[in-house]
Amino acid sequence: MKKPIDDASSLQAINRRRDVRRKTLPALAQAGPVSVWMILFVTIPMLFIIYISFMSRGVFGDVVYEFSLESYQTLLDTTYFKVILKSLQVAVFTTVLCLGLGYPFAYYIARKPPEVASKLIMLIMIPFWTNSLMRLNSWLLLFQTSGPINTFLQWSGITDHPITFIYTDALVVLGMITNMLPFAVLPLYSTIEKLQKSLLEASSDLGATPVQTFLKVTLPLTFPGIFSAIILVFIPSLGIYTVSDVLGGGKVLYIGNIIKNQFGSIRNWPLGAALSVLLLVITGLLIFIYTRFAKLEDMEVV
């Protein structure tokens, strides 16, 4: 026998239960696992990094749990400022080049029929089937003093003595670009692909030259892709240390290498943590600026 629902409070209780079933449970099931994951492996380690950045270092390279601002004072040293500036320069340079190379290529792919396009996208990914350290080491082999590129240059008479390519900033940037290019091409491709041809036709019907069409129609409409390409390339380029480690031979140092050294050979964890916090702040600032200019949902990856 069904009990009639007469008073307001039991109605509320039923509504609440229904809400739990209809809203909370699905939300938990959908966002729960990833939240737990992020809290365990991102939030907590990050808080710990911030915590030890305010601690002191022991002589033996251990962390002494005493409050100290020493690490942040060290950061004020011009040495670190220069490294950060240099890292920012390289990251900007990498991003600009990735965009410059990636945009025309993404445009080219997007104008192909889907079957061809997917094959071309695949081509970009093929180098990524190997471990990135392998790829970096093969760059070293290619460019080393007795390597094929130097041999060719000498054979063809372009130079009479071998050129030192390896362990230079230029090779590091080359390595960065090859590592980052897919992160520029893929978001660019997905926005350019969505660009409606009719708009371009309309533009040219109304008398715009191809250059004008590109600047006034194509470029603004693909801004979301450009923005996400910038974010996806710039942020990893700022922190990456494997490329400069392998191709820079320990002579080319960026902020990522400095952080790695603090946790490794130099063993000054609080300073490493403070540098990581600084990197977080720079990244956070960039995301903030980005969200001021573009809506977050525009950050189109796919």
Partner 1 sequence: MKQLLTGILSLALVFSLAACSGGGGSATPAPNGGGSGNEAASTELNIYMWQQYISDQLISDFEAANNCKVNLSYMSDNADAITRLTAGGGQEYDLIMTCDAYMESLVAGDYVQKLNLDNIPNAGANINEAYWTAKDYCIPYLMNYIYVVYNTETCPIDITCYNDLLDPALKGQISTIDGARNLFPIALIALGYDPNSTEESEIAAAYEWLVKFNENVVAYGNAEQNLTNGTASVALTFDGNASWAMTEMGENNPLVVAPFTSDAVQLGFDLYVIPKGAAHVDLAEKFLNYICDPQVMAANLEEYPYSCPNDAAVAAASEAYRSDPARDFSYKENVFFQEDVGDALVIYNDYYQKLKVGE
Q: Which of these segments, 41-49, 90-98, 120-128, 214-222, binds partner 1 (CB under 8 A)?
A: 120-128
Contact 238, 283 (CB under 8 A): yes
Binder of partner 1 out of 107, 167, 214, 290 (CB under 8 A): 167
Query: Between 281 and 300, how does the x/- string for binding to partner 1 read (CB under 8 A)?
Result: --------------------
> Nearer to partner 1 by C-beta: 11 or 301?
301
DSSP 225-279: HHHHHHHHHHHHHHH--HHHHHHSTTTS--HHHHHHHHHTTS--HHHHHHHHHHH
User: Is 9 a binder of partner 1 (CB under 8 A)?
Assistant: no
Contact 177, 101 (CB under 8 A): yes
Residues 6 or more apart from 116 whose CB is under 8 A from it? none
> Nearer to partner 1 by C-beta: 189 or 203?
189
> Nearer to partner 1 by C-beta: 173 or 213?
173
> Nearer to partner 1 by C-beta: 23 or 119?
119
Residues 6 or more apart from 142 whose CB is under 8 A from it? 148, 149
Show the CA angle centred on residue 211, arms to residues 206 and 212, nearest 5°.
Answer: 45
User: Is 17 a binder of partner 1 (CB under 8 A)?
Assistant: no
User: Is 175 a binder of partner 1 (CB under 8 A)?
Assistant: no
Q: What does the block give as tokens for 86?
A: 């240099």
Query: Between 257 and 286, how does the x/- string for binding to partner 1 read (CB under 8 A)?
Result: -x-xx--xxxxx------------------
CB atoms within 10 A of CB 220: 10
> Nearer to partner 1 by C-beta: 267 or 287?
267
Phi and psi angles of residue 208, each rounded to the nearest 5 degrees, phi first: -80, 140
Contact 229, 99 (CB under 8 A): yes
Binder of partner 1 out of 5, 39, 44, 125 (CB under 8 A): 125
User: Is 82 a binder of partner 1 (CB under 8 A)?
Assistant: yes
Residue (of 300, 217, 244, 267) closest to 64 by Cα position? 267
The residues of the shown chain that bind partner 1, judged by CB under 8 A, are 57, 59-62, 78-80, 82-83, 114, 117-118, 121-122, 125, 128, 131-133, 144-147, 162, 164, 166-167, 179, 182-183, 186, 189-190, 193, 236, 240-242, 245, 249-251, 253, 258, 260-261, 264-268, 301-302
